[in-house]
Structure 1
Amino acid sequence: MLAALKRAHIGNYSIFLRDGLLFSYLEYSGSDYAADTEGIAADPVTRDWWALTGPCQQPLDTVAEGEWWAPAEEVFHLD
């Protein structure tokens, strides 16, 4: 699964847990995010992981129709 993420140009990836909510941060360095994430979804090890962890997750009430992860608006960045 980790290899699939790296092949998809994803790095500096962290997942945080607070009060039952998961929050993740990642940096994407590729040029075709949709294709790269399709590659992750096609990875058999990743699919097995999702089958195990999916039932433990619940999307926020405010996500759009068909959306699982809720994008967040960046409100501050120091470079």
Structure 2
Amino acid sequence: MRRQVFGQIGKLKPDKIQEYIELHANTWPGVLETIHKCNLRNYSIFIQGDSVFSYYEYIGDDYDKDMALMEEDSITQEWWKHTRPCFIKYAITPDSEFYHDMQQIFYYE
């Protein structure tokens, strides 16, 4: 098991900012269970205006497999029906639709 860290950025639609905040203030237990089952830890989301930054650590052995499990989870799919419409499509690269993965350049423990 190797610890990997991820940072992501995204932009919210101005009229969806409060809805996004409220959704995360009341995150569904099934979504949290899936996050845990898929080996994500220390998941944090930060907001400033319409900008969103998220951070999480992955502690599993196969990130792609775990992310595929998350995508297949019916509760998570339903959750995304509520959260994804809050985002402006933020395509910095062709593979980023709602948020963009950032490159870690410094870590100090």
TM-score, with structure 2 as normaliser:
0.66
1:29-40 → structure 2 map (5 Å cutoff): 29-40=59-70
Aligned to 2:74: 44
Aligned to 1:66: 95
Q: Distance in 1 between matches of 2:72 and 2:91?
A: 27
TM-score, with structure 1 as normaliser:
0.88
Aligned to 1:15: 45
Q: Cα deviation per residue 1:31-54 (whole Å; 9 max; x = unaligned)?
A: 100010111111111111100111
Q: Distance in 1 between matches of 2:73 and 2:61?
A: 19
Aligned to 1:6: 36
Letter in 2 for 1:52: H
SS at match of 1:71: strand
Aligned residues: 78
Structure 1 residue ranges without an equivalent (≥5): none
**Root-mean-square deviation (Å):** 1.3
Mapped contact 2:90–2:96 kept (Cα < 8 A) = no
SS at match of 1:30: coil
Identical-pair percentage: 29
Task: Select the structure with the greater relative contact order (CA < 8 A; seq sep ≥ 6).
Answer: 2
Structure 2 residue ranges without an equivalent (≥5): 1-30
Q: CA deviation at 1:61?
A: 4.5
SS at match of 2:101: coil
Q: CA deviation at 1:17?
A: 0.6
